[in-house]
Amino acid sequence: MFDIALRHEYTSLSQCLLSPFIQADEPIKQEQNTVCKRWIKRKKQSTIFCNAWLTELEDAYQLMYHKAEELYLQHANDEINNVVLSTEKLKKLFHNVINIMSKIN
């Protein structure tokens, strides 16, 4: 469930960054109630998984979103020379979340 939702969110974020219609007054904002955030919250409450692993996963997920927000604003303000390189940065963070997910405890 988490990995499917994460892939969907990553695709949406990448598409936003690659869009030629970026506007600084409409930045990417992480929804408070994403599927991934709800999944992590439920798993922390259930104590099925190691809390340290869930915290690492949550931190990596948040970092991915914050970087997308930052890159989006930079792109909107013409501060990015190469949008493709920016999406590569985001892709690395996405893969980091996937790697942490694969270390499930």
Q: How confident is the model at residue 71 (pLDDT cuts 50, 70, 90)?
A: confident
In a domain, 35, yes or no: no
The yes-or-no verdict on residue 37 having pLDDT over 70 is yes
In a domain, 31, yes or no: no
In a domain, 87, yes or no: yes
In a domain, 29, yes or no: no
> Among the residues of 47-82, which ranges form H helices?
51-76
In a domain, 98, yes or no: yes
pTM of the model: 0.83
In a domain, 9, yes or no: no
**Domain enclosing residue 83, as ranges:** 50-105
- Asked whether the beta carbons of 61 and 6 are under 8 A apart, the reply is yes
Average pLDDT of every residue of the chain: 84
